[in-house]
Amino acid sequence: MKKALITGVTGQDGSFLAELLLEKGYDVHGTIRRSSVDYRERIAHLEGREHFHLHYADLGDSMSLLQVIGKVRPDEIYNLAAQSHVQVSFDTPEYTANVDATGVLRILEAVRQCGLTDTCRIYQASTSELYGKVEEVPQNELTPFHPYSPYAVAKLYGFWIVKEYREAYGMYCCSGILFNHESERRGETFVTRKITLAAARIAQGKQEKLYLGNLSSLRDWGYARDYVECMWLILQQPVPDDYVIATGEQHSVREFCELAFSRVGINLRWEGEGADEKGIDIKTGKVIVEVSPDFYRPTDVVNLWGDPTKARKMLGWNPQKTSFQQLVNLMVDADMAKVAVERAGEQVKMNLEEYLEKGIVK
C-alpha cells in the first residue's frame, strides 16, 4: 500500500486530495497545527477511517517535519500548506516567506536527511501569482515570472528550490503552477466564496450589500476537485517535471457575480466605471454590489490566464471537466443550503428566547 503525506490537509485542496488518495487505496497521512479554534471541518468526515492519520507538524519547524517524514516514510509528499492569501502577505511578509519559501526547503531537506531521496516523490503547490505583472497571455511553463506580492515572491523561491533539488540531487520533485481553483470548501475570505455567500445571504434576506475590489480583474477559475487529480497525475509520470494547472478560460469578477446572483434569481445591471461601478438588482432597483477601495490590492494582478496544453497532452488530464457555470452553481447551491441552516438555527434561538421571556420554558 502506497503512503502519502499531505501538508495542509485541512484546507480546500488537502481535503479533496485526501479523499482522492483514499479512493485509490493509499494510506494517507496529513499534518495539522495546534489551534484554539476548530479548523478541521473539511476533513471531519475522514477522521476515524482506518487509513487516514493526522500528525502535528508545521512548515516553520524543521524538527517537526523531520520527525513526521522519518516516522511515516512516505512514497509521495504533497506540500499544500501555505499562507495562501495574497492580501495578507502584505501585512505579514516575514511569516509568508518563512512558510511559503523556507518551508519548502525544510521539506526537501527532511526528505534528504531521512534517506528518502530515491524513493519519495514530492509535489509542490505553486501558483499563477508567479506571473504577476503578466508579460504574455496566456501563460505557460515557459512564460517569464514577474511576482507582484510578498506571497508570489515567496512562492517563486519555493518553485526554484524544487527545481534546484531535482537537478542537484536527482530527486523526484515537481511543481504544479496552479491557477485559481475554487469549490464549496473555499475559504470565506477569498473573492469567489465571498460572492457566493453574499448571493445566498442577500437572496435569503440576511445581507444587504456585497463590497468588492476590481470587478474587471480577469482570472482563470477551475474546480479544486478536478485540480487535485492533476496533482496526483504529476507524481505518476516516469520523469519529474513542472506543469501549469488551469482551464484555459478567462472570466472577470463581474461575470462571476452575474452568474452567482442569477443562480439565486437576482439579475444585475451595472452602472458606473472603476471604483464607482455598482451592481443593481433589476427587479428592485437596489444597489447590491459596490466597489470598495479597501479591497484593492497595493499591486493588483489583473490578467491571469493559463495554458494547460502540456498537462492535457502529457498527463491526459481534462482541464474543463467542470465548466465555469457548473462551478459557480455548485458553490452557490452549497452556500444557499448553508445560509438556510444558519437561518433555521437563528429561528430556533429566537423562539427559545421568546418562550423564556413568556415563562413557557424554564
**pLDDT tens for each residue of 57-90:** 999 999 999 999 999 999 999 999 999 888 899 9
| Cis peptide upstream of residue 138 (ω within 30 degrees of 0) | yes
- Of the ranges 9-23, 124-138, 258-272, 308-322, which one carries the lowest mean pLDDT score? 124-138
On whether the CB atoms of residues 317 and 234 are closer than 8 A, the answer is: no
Q: What is the dihedral of CA 200, 201, 202, 204, to 10 degrees?
A: 90
Rounded CA-CA distance 34/183 in Å is 25
Higher pLDDT, 209 or 85: 209
Rounded CA-CA distance 23/270 in Å is 45
Known catalytic residue at 127: yes
Residue whose grid cell is 429566537: 350
Candidates 96, 127, 196, 322; catalytic one: 127
Known catalytic residue at 346: no
Candidates 78, 151, 165, 223; catalytic one: 151
Report the DSSP pairing between strands 243-245 and 278-281. Answer: unpaired
The secondary structure of residue 179, as a DSSP letter, is P
Domain ranges of the chain: 3-178
Q: Is 295 exposed, middle or buried (0-12, 13-18, 19+ CB in 10 A)?
A: middle
Q: What is the pLDDT of residue 295?
A: 79
The domain covering 3-178 belongs, at the CATH homologous superfamily level, to NAD(P)-binding Rossmann-like Domain (3.40.50.720)
Span 166-186, pLDDT tens digits:
999 999 999 999 999 999 999
Candidates 19, 129, 184, 249; catalytic one: 129
Q: Give the DSSP H or E segment for 4.
A: strand 3-7
Known catalytic residue at 355: no
